[in-house]
Structure 1
C-alpha cells in the first residue's frame, strides 16, 4: 500500500509540476471555452430558443445552458492532452521506466488517469469562477456536488485518451487521432444544444447523440450543478469509464508485442 501511494503521489506531483510550469497550457485551456461563452453564445442566443426542461425550472439564457458543455470541453481536451504526454513519454523512454515499476500495471495507468483528471478539474473550476464573474452562476452547493461528477467525467475522457495512446506509435499521429475523436464527441452531444433541438433537425443525429457517452457526462454535470441526480447519465458515464479503462489496460498489456515495441 505504501509503494502504491508513493507512486500515486509521485505521478500526481510530476503532472502538477508539468502543468503549473506551463502557464500557456492553463491560458489555452480557458481561452477556448471563453470564446464560446463570450462570443458564440451571443450569436446563438437569438437563434436557439430553449424550452423549460430538466434540471431547469424556468427559462434560462443560452450562456447558462452551455456552461456545463464547456466544462465538458475543458475535461475532454485536457484528457486528450494528458494522454498525449504518454506518447511523448514513450518516445523519450520515460514510459518504459514507468511500466517496469514493481507495481501492477493497472495501478500505474490509474495513477496517470487520476493525475490528469485532477488537473482537468482544476481547470474546470477556474472556468466556473470566470463564468460566475461574467454572470453565469449556480447554487453554492452545486459547485460542491459537481466535483465528483466532474471527476468521473474526467476519468471517462482520460481513460479513452489512454486507450487511444496505446494504438499510436508516433507523437505527430496522435494529433490527428485526437481531432478525429474530440470534435465528433463534442459536437454530437448536448454540450451546445439540447437534444430536443437535435431531434427536430434529424432523428438519426439525435440517436447518435444519445449513444455518445460524452452527452451523458455533460448531462450528469448539468444536473449536479443544480443539486439534482440524473441516474441514467451518471450510469452511462460510469459504464464508459469501466469500458475505456478496460481498453486502455488491454492496449498496454505487456503480452502484446506491439506495446512492447512502442514502450
Structure 2
C-alpha cells in the first residue's frame, strides 16, 4: 500500500506530460495536413489535370469499347453493364494512383529544397511525421476522387456510392488511397533528384495501371491467352485496390483484396520509415561523397 502511494505522485505527473505529448503530436499532424491542403488549394491546374486524365478515358476510351461485355457476366455484376460503368472504379483508382505518385514528387522536391530535412528533425518520431504526410496525401487523393465521381455522374456514369454499402466504399477508398500514398512515400526514398522522377514513374504507374483489372477483368486476360499478363495482374496490389472498391460498390465480398491492400500499405510504410532513417535512407546521403550536393 505504501509503495503504491509512493508511486502515485510520479504517475500523476507523467499523465499530463503524456497528454501534452499526444496533443503536440496531433497538432503537428493537423499542421502538416493543413499545409498540404492549402498548397493544393493554390494549385488549380493540379485538380484540373487530375480530373482531365480519367474523364478523357471515360468519354473517349469507354465509347470505343462500350460493348466489350457481350460475352459473359462476371461478379460483382449480375447483369450486362456498359463498359464505362466497369472502368469507372478503375478510373477512381487512377486518380488515387497518380496523386500518390505526385506526393512522391512533392517529397523529392521538399527534400531538395531542404524543407523535408527541417521537418524530419522536428522533436517527433519520424514514423509519425511520415504518417502525417501519408494522411495528407490520402486526404487529397480522396478529395480528387470524389470530384471525379461527381463529374462522371454529370456525364452519365453514376456509381452506386450511396446506400447501405457506403461504409464499405469509404473503407475501400481510404485504404486504397493510403496504400498508394505509402507506395509513393517508399519511392521517394530512392528517387534522389527531380530529374529522375519521370523515368522512375514510367516504370511504376503504367505497369501498375495497365497490368490490372482497371480496364478489363481477369477472365478476359486469361481468355485472351496472355498468361503472363494475367499472372502479373493477379498479384498486382493495384488490382486488389480496384477490385475492393468495385465489389464494395455493390455490397459484395471482395475476397482477399482487403488483406492484400492493407498488407501492402503496412509493408510500404514500414520500409519507407526504415528508408528515411538518418543512418540508412535520406539522412545517409549527407555522409556520402557529394551527398550534400545531391
Band the TM-score falls in, shorter-chain normalisation: over 0.9
> Looking at CA atoms only, which structure, 1 or 2, has the larger radius of gyration?
2
Say which structure, 1 or 2, has more relative contact order (CA 8 Å, 6+ apart): 1
Task: Give me the CA root mean square deviation.
Answer: 1.5
After superposing the two structures, state which structure 1 stretch, 227-236 or 92-101, moved more. 227-236
Q: Displacement of 1:46 after TM fit?
A: 3.5
**Secondary structure of residue in 2 paired with 1:205:** helix
Task: Identify the match of residue 119 of structure 2 among 98, 106, 123.
Answer: 98
Partner of 2:186: 163
Partner of 1:20: 41
Instruction: Give the Cα separation in 2 of the matches to 1:39 and 1:188.
Output: 20
Q: Please state which structure has a larger fraction of its residues in helix.
A: 1
1:220 aligns with 2:239: no
Conserved? CA contact 1:138–1:226, under 8 Å: no
Q: TM-score, normalised by structure 2?
A: 0.86
Conserved? CA contact 1:253–1:259, under 8 Å: yes
Instruction: Give the Cα separation in 1 of the matches to 2:255 and 2:131.
Output: 25
Conserved? CA contact 1:76–1:182, under 8 Å: yes
Runs of at least 5 residues in structure 1 that lack an aligned partner in the other structure: none
Partner of 2:254: 230
Q: Displacement of 1:257 after TM fit?
A: 6.4
Q: Displacement of 1:145 after TM fit?
A: 3.1
Partner of 1:188: 211
Partner of 2:104: 83
Q: Displacement of 1:11 after TM fit?
A: 0.6
Conserved? CA contact 2:208–2:236, under 8 Å: yes
Runs of at least 5 residues in structure 2 that lack an aligned partner in the other structure: 1-21, 287-291
After superposing the two structures, state which structure 1 stretch, 127-136 or 236-245, moved more. 127-136
Tell me: CA distance 1:229–1:170, structure 2 relative to 1, closer, same or farther (3 Å): same
Conserved? CA contact 2:169–2:245, under 8 Å: yes
**Secondary structure of residue in 1 paired with 2:119:** helix
Partner of 1:148: 171
Tell me: CA distance 1:42–1:50, structure 2 relative to 1, closer, same or farther (3 Å): farther
User: Cα deviation per residue 1:24-56 (whole Å; 9 max; x = unaligned)?
Assistant: 000000000000000010012235546211111
Task: Identify the match of residue 6 of structure 1 among 27, 52, 55.
Answer: 27
